[in-house]
Amino acid sequence: MKSKTTALILAVLLGGFGIDRIYMGKIGTGILKLITAGGAGIWWLYDIIMIASGKAKTKDGQALI
């Protein structure tokens, strides 16, 4: 089980580097996010909104708690 609070903090502080995605088990998209600098900031903002609203899931489909 992954923490929603931890994922949100990682997304805000290190989201441009894909660390939040890697924490949630999504290694491939985490690396892609790193290469694209957080999708020029759009992907970074999207992930923050998804995690904060509770809609983000881990790689295996579990909700963050």
The structural domains of the chain, with segments of one domain joined by +, span 4-53
State the pTM of this model: 0.92
Tens digit of pLDDT for each residue in 46-56? 999 999 999 99
Tens digit of pLDDT for each residue in 19-48? 999 999 999 999 999 999 988 999 999 999
Query: What is the pLDDT, as a whole number, of residue 22?
Result: 97
CA distances (Å), origin 35, targets 5, 16, 29, 48 = 25, 9, 10, 18
Query: What is the pLDDT, as a whole number, of residue 21?
Result: 97
Q: How far apart are CA 12 and CA 1, in angstroms?
A: 20
